[in-house]
Amino acid sequence: MEDNFATTTTNRETVPRTGILLTCSMYNWTGVSQPGGFVGDAQEMGAAYFDTKPKDNALVWSVTGLPTDALLQNARIEMNLKCEDSMCHNDGYGFMWDNNSCRFPYFRQWTNLTSFGNWTTGNIKFVNISLTSDIKVSADKTLLQRIKETGYFHFLVGDDTSVDYFRLFYTVADPPSSSLVSFSCATYLLGRTLAKTSVVYSDTTSSTITNIIDSASYPFTSTSLISTANSDRNVTQSTFKFYITQSTRFWLFVPSGVTLGWISDGGWDSLTGASVTTTTSNTATNRTFVVYTKRYDGPRWVIFGGASSSSSAVSPAMFFVSWTFAQALIVTPSNPSAVCACESTGDPHYVTWDKRRFDFYTPGTYHLVKARDCTFDVQTLTFKYGPTVAVNGIVSVRYLNDVVTLARTPGAAGALWTGSPVVRVNGVIQSASVTQGGLQVNKITVDQWTIVISAVGLTVKTVAAGNWFHVYPTLSDPSYQRKVDGLCGNCDNNPDNDFMTPGCAIAINNTATKLTCNQAADWGVKWTVPTNQLVADLSVLSSTNIGSNSYSSCTSTPIIQQCPSLIPPEPPKTGTTAIVIEPQAPTTFVSCSTSGTPVHCGGDDDHDDDDDDDNDNDQPPKLCTWRTEYNQITLKCTECANSNLYASDDCILDICQLLDNGKTIGNYSCPPGPQVCNYTTITKNVTIGSYDWATLDNANPDGVAPSTPACQDKAYYIPLGWEVAPNDATSKSVAESKNWETACLVVEDGNTFATNTTKVDGYTGSCPVHSCVVQPVKTCYHPNFCGTKLLLRRPRVPQCQNGIIETGEQCDDGNGIDTDGCSNTCRINTNGWICVTNVNPTQCTGSANNDAGDPKHTCSINSPYCEGCVITVANQNDKSCCKCVMPCCD
């Protein structure tokens, strides 16, 4: 997007606008409280382009489709700026949402950014703006909280500054274990690290990684492993899917000499020269794995080991996978996505997003447009009108927990519904335009209203006419196209697949422009709204919490997030003409039962285990719990976790294998774990206010900075009792008050503050303004620039739940949850948890055993009153064991 501030419309970047930006003629940031006390400005929008624009005109655009399930992490904005006028020193940037009436609640001048320097006519500057947790848009809400709440923001650049390009980078939290769905009846472990001594499974044996030849271009050491929790003794397949919420890079480790068609079809890149060697513990057999890599952009499911274009079978050999987040990148598009439009008019006649037509006359409440991730839902209630047809009587739009409902006034049973719409927002009647959360409700006339959800690009126009509603939804956000469904279809520009069921089956194969009524009726009723998700019904019109109830119910029982057939193919690889073909989930799977009968694991809803019984017993098997030495195993693994940060599940598997080979726990030595961080001790600090202050490398607070900037030689864990100082005024004051043997101190979000050293006569230079610290692993830090040090603080008065282990505490994980490994009174919960207490905050992990019920035998008696016995030392070698409880009479 860099075109060096073009002066013509050629190559200018069109900026998208949504929501209130489509109606504002002026943008106002007058008197917004900010550093420096600048009074602000108010200007109209002069051009819809990046690059040079008329002076005295603001430039404002929308950034949409951001995550609403978690706060953005490591968020920052990159821009290239040019000063166009002598008043540009008063310019800056701002954030706004649709409920701010064209006024920006947050604005900051460029010249108040650290080390920004002079800003005069003709200057060009590259800026990085960190979106930190202390930026507030109101007294009780941070910028990141507001973005999470709405999923979007409108961004302002002041009236005398031009922009060459804009980019937003961010990451989100690690995915939960529910993000992985197995198709091969194997259980998978998440959260372990790929390193020497890591345990993985290939074919029917457990192996330990003994050698790694890493890739220089895409290094995979210390990435997160996905591998089965124990070997699958019946099969040699590994088939699963993994849900990613953002850009993610994967590495595939495949036994040397094994060819898997779905890898070559899928466009995976081979990392020449990279390899991993494993050693089987009981036979000392070495095996070499070659390495492939590929990046996917989320949100989406990624399938591993599925059928390829040339085969319907699953993979012929086990493999293992590792992954890490790739930095997400949002670039404002030069050609905003085409808009999908749907209609439900008259009695009612429907036109899908992709222009298929049908009439659907069965009365009921239906999903007209439903986001498969439950974010939004447009529902219509149709009532019987005459002897054979139905019409729209209620239209409701839910976005997250909020609901807008428009209802005609019903007559007696079988009579017409009449009058202008009664509009309610969360059950409260409204007579004028209003904004609630991310919903903008616009009154055009008494009979015409428009509901806009800017965060997802959805607009629903409703027109009351006759005795019904005409409803016209439009969807412009490409991140939701293909991920919606309902009576409007899926918005993928393919009319042949519009009539899908919630389970992704195509219910109607007819390609005629218009369907018959019977075809439409058979398919349409499948989109009936479940009772616990109803927001378009007479019984809930005045309910104030129906939106939150519906949203909660939807997210607790979601349907498939995106139909596999709607995931677009990857583009052709550079330099080739071959189209990348993603693997599909297999339709027949390996056997999960002792009988060897092939069964379907996973199920269409990804919840049932489908193993010839009615029980959803797809919990992972416990690891080694039937052994009498299990308590001693966990004690040893706790020791290993604290001494070397060695993963608890890996340790349990190691010792279990050792015991299988006739050895004892005393024969086990803790592996080195991921050797990427070091321990240090703080001996030099200064007390200011209610905290002690120091640097991670133990610098003298009064020490003079060397003439040549010094570099921290290695990464260190934060010592016990200390935490990284926050980005606030106190930390800034502490930094400025001492020399600290450096010119710049880094705080928790990667920003820097200048020390007293910079005030010395003759000092030249400035502190870096972003990404000034890296974390190889949790609680481990390394400054990203020479001449910078990490500022730490330690509270003078101990406080439980602050994430710092202090006097009298066994642990402190920084939360108030009493049922995890560290209690809300900072005591260790020993039942099933392994806690690392020599880092801050305390890291407690449960093994796979925390997620599983007691392991049971297979029961050979076919009776609803019998189930498998719990496996014990006494019966562990039995082929079958049943426990039967017969019902009795009163």
CA atoms of 34 and 93, how far apart (whole Å): 11
Evaluate if residue 854 carries a pLDDT over 60.
Answer: no
Average pLDDT over residues 728-757: 87
CA atoms of 601 and 184, how far apart (whole Å): 7
Report CA torsion sign: 421, 424, 429, 430. negative
Q: What is the pLDDT of residue 29?
A: 79
DSSP state of 175: P
Q: What is the pLDDT of residue 184?
A: 57
Please, are residues 838 and 639 in contact by the beta-carbon 8 Å criterion? no
Using DSSP bridges, classify how beta strands 780-783 and 59-63 pair: parallel, antiparallel or unpaired.
unpaired
* pLDDT interval class at 175 (50, 70, 90): low
Average pLDDT over residues 836-845: 74
Q: What is the pLDDT of residue 51?
A: 73
Q: What is the pLDDT of residue 131?
A: 87
What is the arrangement of strands in the sheet containing 418-425, beginning at the earlier edge strand?
A: 428-430, 418-425, 402-409, 389-399, 376-385, 364-371, 484-485
Q: How far is CA 143 from CA 14, 95, 137, 575, in A?
A: 25, 8, 6, 42
* pLDDT interval class at 460 (50, 70, 90): very high
CA atoms of 748 and 737, how far apart (whole Å): 19
SS3 helix, strand, coil % of the chain, rounded to 5? 15, 35, 55
* pLDDT interval class at 260 (50, 70, 90): confident
Could you tell me which residues are beta bridge partners of residue 124? 82
CA atoms of 346 and 804, how far apart (whole Å): 64
Evaluate if residue 519 carries a pLDDT over 60.
Answer: yes
By residue count, the chain amounts to 890
Mean pLDDT (the chain) is 76
Evaluate if residue 494 carries a pLDDT over 90.
Answer: no
CA 541 to chain centre: 33
Report CA torsion sign: 727, 733, 734, 740. positive
**Region at 807 (left for phi over 0; alpha for psi -120 to 50; beta for the rest):** beta
Q: What is the pLDDT of residue 559?
A: 66
Q: What is the pLDDT of residue 655?
A: 79
- Taking each continuous run of H as one helix and of E as one strand, the counts in the chain are 7, 52
* pLDDT interval class at 428 (50, 70, 90): very high
Q: What is the pLDDT of residue 75?
A: 82
Q: How far is CA 808 from CA 641, 693, 717, 804, in A?
A: 22, 21, 21, 12
Q: What is the pLDDT of residue 770?
A: 55
CB-neighbour burial class of residue 471 (10 A; exposed 0-12, middle 13-18, buried 19+): buried
pLDDT, tens digit, 9 for 90 and up, residues 642-668? 776 665 666 776 677 677 767 788 877
Any idea of the CA torsion for 59, 64, 70, 73, to the nearest 10 degrees?
-40
In three-state secondary structure terms, 524 is: helix
CA atoms of 550 and 545, how far apart (whole Å): 9
Please, are residues 447 and 407 in contact by the beta-carbon 8 Å criterion? no
In three-state secondary structure terms, 451 is: strand
Q: Name the helix (H) or strand (E) containing 93.
A: strand 92-96
DSSP string, 409-441: EP-STTSPPEEEEEEEETTEEESS-EEETTEEE
Is the omega angle on the peptide bond into residue 709 within 30 degrees of 0, that is, cis? Answer: no
Evaluate if residue 128 carries a pLDDT over 60.
Answer: yes
Evaluate if residue 18 carries a pLDDT over 60.
Answer: yes
Amino acid at 655: I
CA atoms of 263 and 309, how far apart (whole Å): 10
Amino acid at 770: H
Give the other-Cβ count within 10 Å of 610's Cβ. Answer: 17
Amino acid at 557: T
DSSP state of 721: T
DSSP string, 668-703: ----------B-------EEETTEEEEETT---TTP
CA atoms of 477 and 205, how far apart (whole Å): 47
CA atoms of 824 and 811, how far apart (whole Å): 10
Could you tell me which residues are beta bridge partners of residue 717? 780
Evaluate if residue 174 carries a pLDDT over 70.
Answer: no
Percent of the chain with pLDDT over 70: 70
Please, are residues 341 and 496 in contact by the beta-carbon 8 Å criterion? no
Comparing CA positions, the residue from 507, 498, 603 lying closest to residue 560 is 603
Is the omega angle on the peptide bond into residue 299 within 30 degrees of 0, that is, cis? Answer: yes
Is the omega angle on the peptide bond into residue 841 within 30 degrees of 0, that is, cis? Answer: yes
What is the arrangement of strands in the sheet containing 248-255, beginning at the earlier edge strand?
A: 188-193, 224-228, 320-325, 248-255, 286-296, 269-280, 205-213, 199-202
* pLDDT interval class at 266 (50, 70, 90): confident
pLDDT, tens digit, 9 for 90 and up, residues 435-445? 888 898 999 89
Give the other-Cβ count within 10 Å of 626's Cβ. Answer: 16
Evaluate if residue 588 carries a pLDDT over 50.
Answer: no
